[in-house]
Amino acid sequence: MTAPFYLEKSSAARLLEDAKARGLPSLGSLVQLTQKILGFLRQNEIINVSKVSRGLYVTSTSDRVWHESWKRLVKGKVHVPDPEGNTWKQRYVHAVKESKRNEITLSELISLEWEFCYKRSIHAELVSMEPIFKNESPRRRKFDYDSGTLVPLTPEKEPYEIRSWQWILFNFDPAALNEIVSHIKIFGDIENSNQQTCFSGTAVIYWGHNTPFPILFAKRTPEWGWTLESSACIFSSIPLVRLEWIKSMKSKKSRQ
């Protein structure tokens, strides 16, 4: 925070203390105004304000302030976690932790509908069939828990039959890959990329006709959505057109 802000909050603290000492009837309104202002601050700023005076400590730790901060935090986010905790401060902290989590849960994976497309870096024939690169709505798929297979939600857009394609969600560990592949009886090598040596989180192996596709690595988006991305394709829980590399590809194509 800037020096002027520290002066402002110090003045506010003195004003609050003075109003309290005098028993002014406007104290309630002043407290409400202060709470509203504090609701626009970030978590660390609210904590700093609480150290200025006893009056601001009481005000800045109120549920109203943290509720306002929580609403600002989750505004525009696509997957907001259920509030967890008895106070809005606890719920705020929980939401921040959730936004940084890089491990998608099984419940999240199977409950979401995923937009899908192949990347331009793979076979040109596959890319030429991508609806999104023709300014059409993309393919959508779902990970079905009961069958353990991929389910097409837009079957008319699928160039191949994918209903028999199977998948497994797992905590990624490069050392355990061979064991996993052996267990599910996949034939062929799973692509080995540099990403696999530094990735920490969950990933998805999926395969069709006993042939594995490159591993999908789970990642968070700035909007608190999810992507499952490999060198060949991407699944996204938010509209693909909002992803930067998709925007870049469509822009390049429009200039050609």
- Mean pLDDT for 13-23 is 51
* Whether the predicted pLDDT of 84 surpasses 60: yes
For the chain, what are the domain ranges?
3-99, 106-255
More confident residue, 14 or 223: 223
- Pick the most confident of 29-33, 69-73, 249-253: 69-73
Residue 184 has a pLDDT of 62
- Mean pLDDT for 41-53 is 59
Residue 159 has a pLDDT of 84
Least confident of 12-26, 62-76, 211-225, 240-254: 12-26
Distances (CA, A) of 34 to 29, 38, 59, 231: 9, 6, 7, 51
* Whether the predicted pLDDT of 126 surpasses 90: no
* Whether the predicted pLDDT of 174 surpasses 90: no
Residue 186 has a pLDDT of 54
* Whether the predicted pLDDT of 193 surpasses 70: no
Mean pLDDT of the chain: 75
Residue 25: pLDDT band (50, 70, 90) is very low
Residue 6 has a pLDDT of 46
Cα separation, 86 vs 124, whole angstroms = 54
Least confident of 9-23, 74-88, 92-106, 174-188: 9-23
Cα separation, 145 vs 147, whole angstroms = 6
